[in-house]
């Protein structure tokens, strides 16, 4: 059962300070629900008090919530504010509601009169009546032994309880974590931390469908669980057809190793192991680097890696669309080249024609190796050109790239907005309904794409792939018996030269599109935060120096109760996301085992079929978890209206986020287009 640790201490602190020690039945840290995995503290922490994280499936904790005990939730539910007394008028009094069956296993004699040092010593065993007499050192010593797992509540050995805060005393026990306080001294159920700086797994956002092996030819290897690794079979070969004016042109990329197979070394010595990931897990850094072993970014984010074609497979289709001036829904504005094919029927005639007799007599790209199995030998222009980008035989230019970076890169490469719902994410983060690092992580991933492409080793691999395609395009004259495509003037076209022209323009567009999107996204985000910041500063001014009203206290306490329930709902929703991911993964693995590419494609596109159904369920689970996260943030922001220290912290947090976006803007201006050669 989930409940805020600070909620427990806040109630205990207030009740002890003004009205005597409230009673908590049972012991701390019992009855942990089986669906929450313990995150055992490091050896430097207390071995007897492990913490239990609420966040799962890539979501991160914005506020400090931990699992405690069923009796703590009972405490939250059964203590309610009562009328104030003269000696403690600014602090709500708490009384236990009567229950039919008190949860106690021992018979306790409750004193009839007000609390003394002796009766305070029984505070850990039975309910006591409140008293206006000061507590004593003896009381404190006895109470502190009531639970070895609970921080000692502050007591006052020299002042009466008419004061709202205990005076300092050398004999006073100090709590291990002091909750934030309102001007009257009433503690809140949490301490608002500085803004979260851990980069999130953007593939967990419902607004973003990251690439999977069946979506766009990429395979996964997960680090989400420390006890398992999902190794997929070789990805299904995708058919990315082009609707030319002269008819449908079938495009068939070559099969290649999954990330799991590459990681296990199935490609042998031909592939030098290389992972691409962030340099640190801090959202403030957009730097990426190459690793020779799988990165261990601890504690978060937990990444998946996918086999990466640095020159995306879609590039070949886009090149032919530019050559033939063929627009499509996905590619509305083909690049204008110095020459275009007058008759697109040339591609229908030659692209998939069997020219196997000439394959072995051409001059292939460096390192080319044809299959020794006649069934898989290269037979067409399609085969040798896609072979140049990478396959199970041509692996040297592959890397295993973090899936969020790769997914954003594929979108930017195709001129598609990285996250269509980004502006909503920025608005929600500014309002506090989602953690600020969720908004920043999307910006960070977009900037990281260009940092990744600028790594010297990656730029070299990109140039290698481009050169490989150029070499095979130069072979077309040989493979077609000198029957080259012609332009409108009936001049032979040099496709190899046009390929470099196309790639230079494409790389310029790739950089410009990202710069423009980031400029708009960053300026929008800053404006949203500044707007909400004005609201917070208005709240700050409205908080007077005096104590809060009963109405404010009531509103705050209700928000606390609602927030505790929302945290529990969030944990359940995040567990559903993980289950939905596993279900979709199982279906993907089944489809990948089908031998026929057309069957795999049909299974993936079947309306009401397992793949579409499970994918829909995953999207629904992500949306539900995001909604639960928003509710927690919304209620936390609501509570801040009643607490100056936390409100001040939130204002600082928002100032820090704005500064971070300004740093991102500086990084944005550094994006420069790469050259094809």
Answer for the pair 160, 134: CB distance below 8 angstroms, yes or no. yes
What pLDDT does 609 receive?
Answer: 92
Distance between CA atoms of residues 450 and 510, nearest Å: 9
| 24 class by beta-carbon count within 10 Å (0-12 exposed, 13-18 middle, 19+ buried) | buried
Averaged pLDDT, 355-376: 94
Domain membership flag for residue 50: no
Domain membership flag for residue 243: yes
Tell me how far the alpha carbon of residue 612 is from its chain's centroid.
Answer: 23
- Please state which of the ranges 191-200, 208-217, 223-232 shows the lowest mean pLDDT: 223-232
Percent share of the chain, pLDDT over 70: 65
What pLDDT does 549 receive?
Answer: 73
What pLDDT does 190 receive?
Answer: 67
Do 339 and 212 belong together in one domain? yes
- Please state which of the ranges 79-88, 368-377, 451-460 shows the lowest mean pLDDT: 79-88
Q: Hunting for tokens 């930017």 — which residue is that?
A: 412
Question: Does position 559 have pLDDT exceeding 90, yes or no?
Answer: no
- Please state which of the ranges 127-136, 203-212, 631-640 shows the lowest mean pLDDT: 127-136
Distance between CA atoms of residues 2 and 40, nearest Å: 17
Tell me how far the alpha carbon of residue 120 is from its chain's centroid.
Answer: 48
Domain membership flag for residue 615: no
What pLDDT does 297 receive?
Answer: 66
Answer for the pair 235, 217: CB distance below 8 angstroms, yes or no. yes
Domain membership flag for residue 263: yes
Q: 70 vs 676, which has greater pLDDT?
A: 676
Question: Does position 105 have pLDDT exceeding 80, yes or no?
Answer: no
Domain membership flag for residue 578: no
pLDDT in tens, 479-509: 999 999 999 999 999 999 999 999 999 999 9
Averaged pLDDT, 120-128: 38
pLDDT level of residue 101 (50, 70, 90 thresholds): very low
DSSP-derived secondary structure letter, 112: S
DSSP-derived secondary structure letter, 280: S
Do 271 and 138 belong together in one domain? no
Domain residue limits at 386: 202-542+643-668
What pLDDT does 303 receive?
Answer: 63
| 456 class by beta-carbon count within 10 Å (0-12 exposed, 13-18 middle, 19+ buried) | exposed
Domain membership flag for residue 171: no
Answer for the pair 125, 111: CB distance below 8 angstroms, yes or no. no
Q: 313 vs 131, which has greater pLDDT?
A: 313
Question: Does position 38 have pLDDT exceeding 90, yes or no?
Answer: no
Domain boundary at 143, 165, 193, which?
143
Domain membership flag for residue 558: no
Domain membership flag for residue 600: no
Q: Structure tokens of 652?
A: 């600082």
What's the full length of the chain, in residues? 677
- Please state which of the ranges 169-178, 229-238, 613-622 shows the lowest mean pLDDT: 229-238
Helix, strand or coil, per DSSP, at residue 591: helix
Answer for the pair 338, 344: CB distance below 8 angstroms, yes or no. no
Question: 649-666: buried (b, 16+ CB within 10 Å) or exposed (e) per residue?
Answer: bbbebbeebbebbeebee
Q: Give 160-186 as a 3 state SS string.
A: CCCCCCCCCCCCCCCCCCCCCECCCCC
Q: Structure tokens of 476?
A: 């077309």
Q: Structure tokens of 536?
A: 């917070």
Averaged pLDDT, 553-568: 83
What pLDDT does 176 receive?
Answer: 41
Helix, strand or coil, per DSSP, at residue 565: helix
Domain count, the chain: 2
Q: Structure tokens of 142?
A: 């006895």
What pLDDT does 3 receive?
Answer: 39
Do 385 and 460 belong together in one domain? yes
Do 98 and 212 belong together in one domain? no
Do 368 and 504 belong together in one domain? yes
Q: Hunting for tokens 């006890």 — which residue is that?
A: 227
Answer for the pair 461, 397: CB distance below 8 angstroms, yes or no. yes
pTM of this prediction? Answer: 0.65
What pLDDT does 173 receive?
Answer: 38
pLDDT in tens, 272-329: 999 999 999 999 999 999 999 988 765 444 568 899 999 999 999 999 999 999 999 8
Question: 147-179: buried (b, 16+ CB within 10 Å) or exposed (e) per residue?
Answer: beebbbbbbbbeeebebbebeeeeebeeeeeeb
Q: Structure tokens of 626?
A: 């995001």
Distance between CA atoms of residues 414 and 385, nearest Å: 20
């Amino acid at each position: 059962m989930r409940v805020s640790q600070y909620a427990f201490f806040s109630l205990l602190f207030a009740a002890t300070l003004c009205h005597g020690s409230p009673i908590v039945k049972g012991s701390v840290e019992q009855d942990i629900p089986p669906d929450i995995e313990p995150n055992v503290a490091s050896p430097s922490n207390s071995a007897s008090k492990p913490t239990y994280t609420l966040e799962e499936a890539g979501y991160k904790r914005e506020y400090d919530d931990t699992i405690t005990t069923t009796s703590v939730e009972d405490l939250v539910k059964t203590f309610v504010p009562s009328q104030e007394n003269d000696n403690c008028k600014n602090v709500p009094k708490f009384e236990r509601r009567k229950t039919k069956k008190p949860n106690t296993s021992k018979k306790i004699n409750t004193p009839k009169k007000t609390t003394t040092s002796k009766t305070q010593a029984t505070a850990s065993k039975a309910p006591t009546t409140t008293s206006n007499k000061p507590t004593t050192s003896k009381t404190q010593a006895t109470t502190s032994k009531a639970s070895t797992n609970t921080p000692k509540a502050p007591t006052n050995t020299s002042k009466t309880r008419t004061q709202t805060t205990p005076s300092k005393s050398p004999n006073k026990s100090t709590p291990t974590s002091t909750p934030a306080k309102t001007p009257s001294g009433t503690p809140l159920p949490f301490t608002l931390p500085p803004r979260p700086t851990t980069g999130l797994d953007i593939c967990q956002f419902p607004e973003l469908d990251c690439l999977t092996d069946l979506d766009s030819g990429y395979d996964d290897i997960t680090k989400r669980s420390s006890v398992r690794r999902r190794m997929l079979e070789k990805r299904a070969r995708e058919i990315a057809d082009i609707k030319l004016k002269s008819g449908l042109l079938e495009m068939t990329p070559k099969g290649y190793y999954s990330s799991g197979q590459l990681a296990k070394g199935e490609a042998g010595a031909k592939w030098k192991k290389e992972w691409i990931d962030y340099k640190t897990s801090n959202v403030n850094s957009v730097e990426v680097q190459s690793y020779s072993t799988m990165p261990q970014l601890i504690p978060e984010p937990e990444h998946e890696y996918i086999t990466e074609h640095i020159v995306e497979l879609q590039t070949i289709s886009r090149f032919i669309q530019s050559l033939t001036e063929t627009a499509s829904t996905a590619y509305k504005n083909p690049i204008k080249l110095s020459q275009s094919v007058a008759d697109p029927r040339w591609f229908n005639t030659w692209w998939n024609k069997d020219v196997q007799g000439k394959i072995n007599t051409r001059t292939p790209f460096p390192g080319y190796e044809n299959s020794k199995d006649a069934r898989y030998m290269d037979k067409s222009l399609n085969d040798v050109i896609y072979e140049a980008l990478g396959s199970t035989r041509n692996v040297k230019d592959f890397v295993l790239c973090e899936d969020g970076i790769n997914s954003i890169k594929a979108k930017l490469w195709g001129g598609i907005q990285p996250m269509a719902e980004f502006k909503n994410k920025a608005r929600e983060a500014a309002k506090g309904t989602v953690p600020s690092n969720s908004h920043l992580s999307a910006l960070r991933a977009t900037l990281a794409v260009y940092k990744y492409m600028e790594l010297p080793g990656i730029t070299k691999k990109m140039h290698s792939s481009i050169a490989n395609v150029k070499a095979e395009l130069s072979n077309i004259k040989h493979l077609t018996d000198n029957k080259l495509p012609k332009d409108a003037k009936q001049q032979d076209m040099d496709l190899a030269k046009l390929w470099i022209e196309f790639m230079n323009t494409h790389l310029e567009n790739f950089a410009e599109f990202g710069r423009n999107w980031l400029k708009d996204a960053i300026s929008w985000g800053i404006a949203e935060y500044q707007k909400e910041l004005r609201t917070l500063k208005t709240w700050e001014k409205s908080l007077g120096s005096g104590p809060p009203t009963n109405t404010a206290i009531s509103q705050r306490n209700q928000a606390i109760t609602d927030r505790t329930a929302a945290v529990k709902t969030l944990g359940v929703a995040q567990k559903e996301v993980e289950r939905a991911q596993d279900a979709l993964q199982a279906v993907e693995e089944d489809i990948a085992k089908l031998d026929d590419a057309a069957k795999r494609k049909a299974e993936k596109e079947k309306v009401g079929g397992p793949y579409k159904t499970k994918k829909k369920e995953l999207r629904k689970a992500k949306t539900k978890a995001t909604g639960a996260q928003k509710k927690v943030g919304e209620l936390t922001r609501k509570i801040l209206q009643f607490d100056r220290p936390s409100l001040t912290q939130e204002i600082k947090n928002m100032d820090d986020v704005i500064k971070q976006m300004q740093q991102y803007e500086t990084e944005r201006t550094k994006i420069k287009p790469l050259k094809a050669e």
